[in-house]
Amino acid sequence: MGEFRLIRLMIKEICLLLFLCLLFTGCAKNPREPLTLDNLAGKKVGVMMAYSTDYILSQPEYGLDIYRYDYYSDMTLALSFNRVDAIAMEMDEAYVFCRMQPEFEIGLVAEEQLEYAYMFSADRPELLEQFNQFIRDFRETEEYADIVRRKKASADAPFQPKKVENIVTTDWVLKVAAYDGWEPISYINNLTGEWEGGDVELITHFANSLGAELELIDMSWEQMVIELTTGLVDLMLCPESLLMAKDLEMSDNIVMSDWVFLKDIVLIVNKEEN
């Protein structure tokens, strides 16, 4: 009789164990399917509203379910809680994003080597012509190659800025709208209060080629567009894809330069749990 009770107890424990295994297995996350260009259709992808990633990835050929966000923090939270399958960024900002938040990783390069340019006020055609000549020459220099190398290196360590002195030889002031907090592109060093970043260095070289004083003005994207279209700033230090040029220039208030950098658009995903 005692042996029978023991067997019944063992059977109950085994059944309970099996039930718990099934329960927790059912609640566990299913392994994420790796992203490929062939399985993108229908994927939920977060983008920053009106940025190049939004403009490009919302095209019908991708077949994506696009979720638009006003703030990077909101987009990041959506990815953290699996509200979206991935979020889109340009490669240079993705370097820093994944370095600072190692719970995320680059899951796929969606577009490679797209041409990115600056936006200029249409009221300054001579300035655009001067910049286009400058950037065509500057792209062939070691200074330009070094900026590109240091941007790539920001995937592993903070961007290493190089101080470019603004050499002023005229009374010309070049007013440039910039965005703070955008490592490795443009940001204000909290210790020195000075602007740093690869694009900051490049535009300082351009100002020096003119003998102009460089005035960098911290603005949001919305402010930049308004100030540029009204002619209160000369250009935006906020590179966008030249694929957007036709739409951006329709108002006749904005013109885009020759390409400044070649960039990849990447999709960032949650890292797989070990």
CATH number at residue 181: 3.40.190
Residues contacting 248, CB < 8 A, separation 6+: 119, 240, 254, 256
Contact in structure between 97 and 89 (CB atoms under 8 Å): yes
Contact in structure between 258 and 132 (CB atoms under 8 Å): yes
Which residues is 111 bridged to in the sheet? 265
Q: What does the pLDDT read at residue 272? A: 75
Q: What does the pLDDT read at residue 60? A: 95
Contact in structure between 237 and 47 (CB atoms under 8 Å): no
Residue 244 lies in a domain: yes
Burial 85-114 (b: 16+ CB within 10 A, else e): bbbbbbbbbbbbbbeeeeebebbbebbeeb
Domain that holds residue 251: 115-263
Tokens of 183: 């490592």
Measured CA to CA, the distance from residue 237 to residue 219 in angstroms comes to 10
Secondary structure (3-state) at 39: coil
Q: What does the pLDDT read at residue 27? A: 36
CB neighbourhood size of 248 (10 A): 18
pTM here is 0.84
Q: What does the pLDDT read at residue 6? A: 37
Q: What does the pLDDT read at residue 32? A: 63
Report the interhelical angle of 91-100 vs 142-153 (nearest 10°).
40
Which is nearest to 164 in space by CA: 127, 128, 204, 134? 204
Q: Which helix or strand (DSSP H or E) is residue 89 part of? A: strand 86-90
Residue 232 lies in a domain: yes
The per-residue pLDDT string of the chain (274 residues; one tens digit each, 9 = 90 and over) reads 444 443 344 444 444 444 444 344 333 344 567 888 889 999 999 999 989 999 999 999 999 999 999 999 999 999 999 999 999 999 999 999 999 999 999 999 999 999 999 999 999 999 999 999 999 999 999 999 999 999 999 999 999 999 999 999 999 999 999 999 999 999 999 999 999 999 999 999 999 999 999 999 999 888 898 999 888 999 999 999 999 999 999 988 999 999 999 999 999 999 974 3
- Cα dihedral sign for 225, 229, 235, 241? positive
Count of the separate structural domains present in the chain = 1
- Cα dihedral sign for 114, 120, 122, 124? negative
Which is nearest to 51 in space by CA: 219, 228, 243? 243
Which is nearest to 239 in space by CA: 141, 146, 148? 148
Residue 237 lies in a domain: yes
Measured CA to CA, the distance from residue 54 to residue 51 in angstroms comes to 5
Residue 19 lies in a domain: no
